[in-house]
Structures are given as structure tokens and as C-alpha cells.
Amino acid sequence: MLKSRQKRLQKFFIILLLSVAGISLVLFSLNSKLDLFYSPTEMLASELKLGSRIKLGGMVKIGSIRRVDTDIFFIVTDFESEVPVTFRGITPDLFKEDSGVVALGYYQNGSFIAEQIFAKHDENYMPPELMPVSKKNDS
């Protein structure tokens, strides 16, 4: 009877150990893919770890977009603080001044280095392809 109890106890601890290991791997994987969202004011006030990837969201400041070859320089603001952003690549079609933007990247040396740019639109946005269909339905 004692041997069967020890075997059940051993199986229980092995299952428990494997379960903890599996859950730990899942949580570690999810944590490494997690990108925190900050406004410019929140980002400047926080103490980010060097090399931590974040999402910076706000409005593109009017008159701040400069293009040099494939590099794009602009300022993201939340109307309290401003953060200069550098991006190399092609921006989305909706990217323009005085519109919402989310940049994924790293804050280094007083500037935000973006890997990706996501342009935001309001709830009234309609893709250009659907405009003629919408106008027909309105009349």
C-alpha cells in the first residue's frame, strides 16, 4: 500500500512540475511579444528599460513631417509633450499631419526610432473604393 501511495505521489509531482514548466513557457512567450502603449507624456515620464520596445501613440504635429530619401522625420504629440520620431520605409496611405498615428519601436537618445507606423482613422472613415457605393445608397 505504501509503494502505490509513493508512486501516485511521484506521478502527481511530475505532472505538477510539467504543468508549471508549460505555463511558465507560455507566459514567457506572451511577455516577450507584449508591446506597451504610451502617449508622449507617459513615455517621457516613465523609466523605460534601455532597448524595450513600445508603441508610441498620438497625433502627428502640423508642419513636422520631413522626408529625406527613405527616412521620414516627424513629431508625435499629445498636446502636452512632443517626441521626435525617425522612420525608414514606406508610410501608410493615411499617414499625414494632424492625424492619429501609432509607432512601434524604441526610444533612444531623445528620439523615437520607429520600426513600423500605423496610421489611425476616426469612426467616420470610409475606404475610397466604397465611396461611390455609399453615394448611390444615400440617394
What HEC string does 45-97 produce?
A: HCCCCCCCCEEEEEEECCCCCEEECCEEEEEEECCCCEEEEEEECCCCCCCCC
pLDDT tens per residue across all 139 residues of the chain: 668 888 898 999 999 999 999 998 888 877 666 778 888 888 888 877 767 888 998 899 999 999 998 899 999 998 899 999 999 988 888 888 888 899 999 988 888 999 999 876 655 655 555 555 445 545 5
Task: Give yes or no for a contact between 92 and 118, defined as CB atoms under 8 angstroms apart.
Answer: yes
* The pLDDT value given to residue 133: 45
Which superfamily, per CATH, for 36-119?
Answer: Nucleic acid-binding proteins (2.40.50.140)
* The pLDDT value given to residue 45: 86
Q: Is 38 annotated as a binding residue?
A: no
Could you tell me the residue ranges of all domains in the chain? 36-119
